[in-house]
């Protein structure tokens, strides 16, 4: 989805979005906790007023309480109309904030799961004792297909793209 004409992101708006950053605004970034650094990274990205927010492992290394805040804020961004593309091994997070999830299996094939199927898929992906996680491999064709659909609104299969050498795909 492409975001509409929303209110521009400013430092003040980021502080409203992440109140913890307002409390720590006099601190050096290197002195922030991992969760605070993740909030800062998201806030800095939002201040560019993107139509697409791309994130790699936003939950990595975060304490459960901080993860809840990040997950809530990402879901809010999604609800506001901002398109978000994440590479994430925490399947619960991915399923909670996504309209569509691409899972790369051990053979490297991409499987697209629409939001309506998320609750059916979640139990099959879970592991006892913690959040569901998958070992993922980057599949440039699956990502290119998702980006193509986000930009043009039309679907293209990874099979159609697989005949195109990766180096000829447009840069991300």
Cα 126 to Cα 67: distance, rounded to the nearest angstrom:
18
Q: Model's pTM, two decimal places? A: 0.64
- Cβ burial 13-25 (10 Å sphere, 16+ → b, else e): ebeebbebbeebe
Alpha helices in the chain (DSSP H): 11-17, 19-23, 34-46, 64-79, 91-97, 118-125, 140-152, 158-161
Q: Output the pLDDT for position 118.
A: 53
69-114 confidence digits (pLDDT tens): 999 999 899 888 888 888 888 877 887 888 777 777 667 777 676 6
% residues pLDDT > 70 (the chain): 62
């Amino acid at each position: 989805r492409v975001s509409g004409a929303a209110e521009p992101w400013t430092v003040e708006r980021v502080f409203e979005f992440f109140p913890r950053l307002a409390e720590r605004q006099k601190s050096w970034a290197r002195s922030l906790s991992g969760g605070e650094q993740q909030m800062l990274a998201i806030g800095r990205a939002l201040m560019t007023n993107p139509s697409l927010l791309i994130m790699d492992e936003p939950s990595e290394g975060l304490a459960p309480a901080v993860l809840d805040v990040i997950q809530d804020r990402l879901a809010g961004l999604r609800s506001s109309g901002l398109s978000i593309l994440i590479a994430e091994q925490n399947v619960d997070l991915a399923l909670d904030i996504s309209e569509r999830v691409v899972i790369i299996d051990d053979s490297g094939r991409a499987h697209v799961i629409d939001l309506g199927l998320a609750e059916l898929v979640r139990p099959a992906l879970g592991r006892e004792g913690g959040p569901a996680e998958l070992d993922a491999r980057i599949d440039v064709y699956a990502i290119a297909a998702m980006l193509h659909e986000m930009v043009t609104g039309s679907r293209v299969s990874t099979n159609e793209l697989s005949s195109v050498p990766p180096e000829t795909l447009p840069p991300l």
